[in-house]
Structures are given as C-alpha cells and as structure tokens.
Amino acid sequence: MIDVFMDEKFIGEVENQEDFLKKVKDERQKGKLPNTLNIWYNDELKEVHIEIANGRVRRPLIVVEKGKSKLTAEHLKKLEANELTWKELFSQGVMEYLDAAEEENAYVALNEEDVTAEHTHMEISPSIILGLTTSLVPFANFGQSSRLNRGSKAQKQALGFYSANYLVRMDTDVNILHYPQNPLVKSFMYDVSKQNLHPAGQNIIIALMSYEGYNMQDALVFNKGSIDLGLARSTYYRPYKAEELRYAGGLIDEICVPDKEVKGYRSEEDYKLLEDDGIIFPESIVKEDDVIIGKTSPPRFLGEIDEFSIAANKRRESSITMRHGEPGKVDFVMVTENEEGMRLVKTRLRHQRIPEIGDKFASRHGQKGVVGLIVPEADMPFTVTGVKPDLIFSPHSIPSRMTVSHLLEVLAGKTGALDGRTIDATTFSSEPEHDLRKTLLELGFREDGTETLYNGLTGEKLKAKIFIGNMYYLRLKHMVANKLHARASGRIQLLTRQPIEGRAKGGGLRLGEMEKDCLVGHGASLLLKERFDSDITRIQVCESCGMLAVYDNFKNTQFCHRCGGNIVINTIQISYAFKLLLDELRALGIGPKLNLKSKYDDGSRTQRSK
C-alpha cells in the first residue's frame, strides 16, 4: 500500500501508484482536475504527493510517448497559421506544466534526436534552461556558468535607450546612451524579446594586448579618438521637485524668489538664475548647491515668532538646491498642481557624461573592468589597413576565467562586420566556429582573427600577432562622477561628534572594523589611534571620586560637582564617543568611574564601573 498526501497532509492509500498517477494525469489533461495540480511518486519513501499549493514554479515541457514527441510538424504549421493556441496544446496533452517535484518522476530529453523509449518529456529548446537576460549572452554554451550569471547582471546595469518618451518623463536616476546600437553578434532571444527596440551597447573594435601596463587587473585602455567621436557617451538626468504644502492654521509654502527678510536668506547672487516666478530658466548652467527653485516656508514652531520681528521675518528659506557634487544644465521645467490643487514644480537636470578614467564597462560575458587610461588616437596601435582599436583589453583576463565565449564573440564580430551581416550566437545553436574562420579566410584575413599591429608611439611592428575584432560593449551605470569623494574636514554628527556619513553630505570615509584589524595586525598602534582622532576630546576627571569634573573657561577654574573645587582634577584625552557612553551609562543609573594613573608609572590607566 502506498500512502497518498495532498499538500503534505495524509489523505489515504492506493494499491497501485502507477495506475493512480496515470488516472490523475488523464483527468488533469481533460480539465476535470485543475491544470495547476501536480502529482509525483517518491520511490524512496513509497509515497504519492499531490501538490495544489500556490507559489510553485512550473515550466512547460513537450510530452514524449513511446519514444516520439507529441508535438509534430503539423502542430507547428497550425501554430504558425494561428489555428492553434498555446492553451490548446495543453488540453490536447501535447505539452504539460511540471513543477519541481513532478520533474523528479520525469525523464527529460534536451533534443529531439536524444529521445528514447524511456523518455517522458522533451525540452522546447535546450536554451530554455537560461533566463531572459542570460539567453542574450552570445555563445553562452562556451562559457562558464558563473560568468553567464555575471554577464546577465552586467546587461541589467548597462546604459541604453530605456524608453522612447524619456524626454517627457520625470524618472529618477536615468542614463541615456547617445548612440545605442544593436549587436552584430546576437542570440535568437535578442529579437524575440524586443531588445532591438531598446539597445544598450555599442559595437566597438577591441584588441587583446597589453598597453604600457595600464590595462592590468581588468582595467581597460580607451582610444581618445573614439571617445571624442561619441563612443559610450551618455546623459544623466535627475528631476528636482518643489511643492507648495499647506500647514495647520492656513499657512502655506510659497514658490518665489525669497525676500531679503526671510530667515536663512542666501544672497542676491545665489538667486540670480531664478526667473520672477522663483523657478530657474531652462538651459541655464548650474553648479553644485545652486538654487534651482526658490521657496519660503512658514516657521516650524509658533515660538519662533519673537515679539519684535515684523511679519515677513518669521518665514524661512526652504529653496531646492542642486545636490552636492552634481553640476548640470536645466533640461526641462514643469509647473502643475498636486492632488490638493497646490502648485507643484518639477525641473529636470541634465549632465553629459563623457567616459573618463574610472568608468565601468563590461562585455556580455561577465568581463567587467574600469577605464585605466585614455590614449591619444595617434598613440594607439594600428593594423596594416590603419584600423585602430577603440579599446585594449588585457589578455590575462581570459585564461583563469575560461570565458571562451568572449573570444568567440570577437571572432564572430569581426566576421560579421567584414561580411556585412549579423551573426547568430544563440546558445547551443550558434554559427559554428569553423564557418566563421572560413569566412574570415575568404575575406582575406587570418582565420584565427589575429593581425599584425604597429606600435602607435614608435611605428615599430609588434612581434606578436594581436587578436583584434569587433565586440558589443556595455557601459555600466557606475560612473566615477557619481562616486568620487574625498574629505579633509567637514560636518560632524551632533550626538557623537564623529564625521557624518555619505558622499552627498560631504561625509567622512570610514575606517571600518576590518581595516582596524589590519592596522592592529601590523602593530601600527599609534597610526590607528591617530586615524580615530576625529572625535578626540579633552575631559576633566576628579581624582578623588572618578567622576567627570567641570572646567570653567571664563574663570579658568576646575571643580567637581561632588567634591567641590579644592581637589585634584586632571585632564585626559579620550574619544567623544566614549564620553557619550559614560553619559548614557549614567542615564541608566550606572555610575562609571575613571581611576587615573600616570602613564609613566606602569603604563596603564584603569577605569572602573560601578
């Protein structure tokens, strides 16, 4: 007897599981049982499981019976002529949706040729094992699986042409590539998924060689000439928004050029770009922290109105300014109303991003890198016909990562460019390598894709033949312009007196836990102390009770709240964060005491908590 479970609950037993399974599957196909039901037999535990719960991942497979696929040429013809629908294929039993559990019972063939009498199912296509973006990777079956993951991840971060109406949209963090192209080497899925309507990359010429060591460790060397011609150029858009909010007591915000009496007034110079309505004019060039929408708000607390001030004085400045570290041009200004009928102003800033050192690029094979050097066109190596690569890629990036697909794409790209056609690089059914080589040879090139190159600086012939060809390259959205940051001193947090966090606010760069470990491991104790001096503070400690004492700066005296003034008080240097901890402990009702010792006595200070 075999136990039967439905959604992991025991519901009964059956004598013969095979008959039972067949019967349930028949009923499911006929539509008497729901199509979303899956059933499987666990041979190890001798249990039949029926699954009807939500959230199971299921995928379609072609049913195979007696070694023959149920999907015939006739079906395909009818499908093409729109006489048959996808759904009908399931009701006819030609195809089935299996979940992960039912798949345990299935024996699935990858190709129709592989089908034997034992098989129960067949894949629609072998490349269906890949997801949407992964299937866009050319020659994916020649690459390592983890590289495929990275390749598909890179494509999701690539700059492109995300929407044709981007000019009338107010999306945040938008990048538009200036001259997007469709790839020369693409998979079947590229067109099917309509990627060709919003491409996200450019076909460029790459050479696999080193260049003065500036492309080591995944760095890339770019041709300045190509960049000047608009290679990988993009525009960054960011909207800014101001709203006239309504507060209690009939007070409202006002979008205008702020009056001189307003609290927090900047200066006339700061508002010079604003038009009479308080909004900046389109196409004006703005720097970081510039005012783009002038606005004043009513006071935060009623207490702010002091007796002698005149009415305008109580309003405060609340203008919208450019983000720190982001210059640009005003692209678009829009004035409208929000749901409450109040004035709403949106402006969109635009900034052209020309590739610079540190910008991130990637191919579709998980080979990402940052620009390490931009070389004048004259200094780039060139071929006999005068072709100069747009990009020089380090050959050391290939062997350990085993991205054969990367090399194949260069070869295929070269063939496609020279032959004037796109190359099919669909996973498992791509154009064979030897065909590509043959075409190259017929076109008068070396079949392995290498060419003789000449040193751009000296004109000497390079001893090695260089692998050079076309490739689809992606510019990724991580640009140094958004990330570059340094600080010497600046704003600190009110509570801890440590530097504030974040680039936008000009914050500090954290020396974290692991970096601390590194300095400790090297025994660089004093360097570590110095690095943590950002919140250093001097405190007075009463020697007799161990509590914090007071230093009166006006009278230049020191005293302890408990022991009075006639007592030994010493000044020590500690981090403010620790002083804060002592204060917080006191707030908890714990009285921490500091017992001081001269560091010249035995080298240690002690601290006692009580």
What residues act catalytically? 346, 478
Q: Considering only the stretches 67-75, 253-261, 411-419, 583-591, report the one whose residues sit in contact with other proteins under the rule CB under 8 A.
A: 583-591
Using DSSP bridges, classify how beta strands 461-475 and 202-208 pair: parallel, antiparallel or unpaired: antiparallel
Q: Considering only the stretches 118-126, 273-281, 486-494, 526-534, report the one whose residues sit in contact with other proteins under the rule CB under 8 A.
A: 526-534
Site mask for Zn ion (CB under 5 A), range 97-136, x = bound: ----------------------------------------
DSSP string of 147-193? HHHHHHHHHHTB-B---TTGGG---SSEEEESS----SEE-HHHHHT
Q: What is the DSSP letter of 252?
A: B
- 563 makes contact, choosing from Zn ion, other proteins, none, with CB < 5 to 8 Å by partner type, with Zn ion
Residue 82 CB coordination number (10 Å): 7
Q: How many residues does the chain have?
A: 610
> Token match 């032959």: residue?
419
- 545 makes contact, choosing from other proteins, Zn ion, none, with CB < 5 to 8 Å by partner type, with Zn ion
Q: How far is the CB of 603 from other proteins (least distance, A)?
A: 5
Q: Which is nearer to other proteins, 167 or 524 (CB)?
A: 524
Residue list 504-523, contact with other proteins (CB under 8 A): 516-518, 520-523
Q: Which is nearer to Zn ion, 464 or 585 (CB)?
A: 585
Note whether 545 binds Zn ion by CB under 5 A. Answer: yes
If DSSP states are collapsed to H, E and C, what string results for 494-509? Answer: CCCCCECCCCCCCCCC
- 55 makes contact, choosing from other proteins, Zn ion, none, with CB < 5 to 8 Å by partner type, with none
- 512 makes contact, choosing from other proteins, Zn ion, none, with CB < 5 to 8 Å by partner type, with none
- 197 makes contact, choosing from other proteins, Zn ion, none, with CB < 5 to 8 Å by partner type, with none
Q: What is the DSSP letter of 450?
A: E
The residues with which 241 forms a beta bridge, in sequence order, are 346
> Both tokens of residue 476?
């990724």
Check: CB of residue 244 under 8 Å from CB of residue 294: no
- 23 makes contact, choosing from other proteins, Zn ion, none, with CB < 5 to 8 Å by partner type, with none
Q: How far is the CB of 575 from other proteins (least distance, A)?
A: 4
Check: CB of residue 296 under 8 Å from CB of residue 253: yes
Q: Considering only the stretches 55-63, 122-130, 384-392, 529-537, report the one whose residues sit in contact with other proteins under the rule CB under 8 A.
A: 529-537
Check: CB of residue 350 under 8 Å from CB of residue 387: no
Mapped onto helix, strand or coil, the DSSP state of residue 407 is helix
Q: How far is the CB of 562 from other proteins (least distance, A)?
A: 18
Among the listed residues 129, 563, 577, 596, the single contact to Zn ion using CB under 5 A:
563
Q: Considering only the stretches 176-184, 290-298, 412-420, 531-539, report the one whose residues sit in contact with other proteins under the rule CB under 8 A.
A: 531-539
Cβ partners under 8 Å of residue 120, min gap 6: 63, 64, 105, 106, 107, 108
Note whether 402 binds other proteins by CB under 8 A. Answer: no
Nearest to 24 by CA among 89, 123, 105, 84: 105
Q: Which is nearer to other proteins, 420 or 603 (CB)?
A: 603
Q: How far is the CB of 547 from Zn ion (least distance, A)?
A: 5
| Nearest-5° Cα angle at 467, 461 to 469 | 115
Among the listed residues 117, 488, 495, 526, the single contact to other proteins using CB under 8 A:
526
Among the listed residues 275, 340, 533, 552, the single contact to other proteins using CB under 8 A:
533
Q: What is the DSSP letter of 123?
A: -
Among the listed residues 8, 44, 113, 601, the single contact to other proteins using CB under 8 A:
601
Helix axes 404-419, 433-442, angle to 10 degrees: 40
Note whether 524 binds other proteins by CB under 8 A. Answer: yes
> Both tokens of residue 179?
């001259």
Mapped onto helix, strand or coil, the DSSP state of residue 518 is helix
Note whether 542 binds Zn ion by CB under 5 A. Answer: yes
- 22 makes contact, choosing from Zn ion, other proteins, none, with CB < 5 to 8 Å by partner type, with none
Range list of H helices, 331-403: none
Interface with other proteins (CB under 8 A), residue total: 47
Note whether 572 binds other proteins by CB under 8 A. Answer: yes
Q: What is the DSSP letter of 582?
A: H
C-alpha 387/C-alpha 383 separation (Å) is 5
CA–chain centroid gap for 88, Å, is 41
Note whether 539 binds Zn ion by CB under 5 A. Answer: no
Note whether 77 binds other proteins by CB under 8 A. Answer: no
Among the listed residues 198, 272, 562, 608, the single contact to Zn ion using CB under 5 A:
562
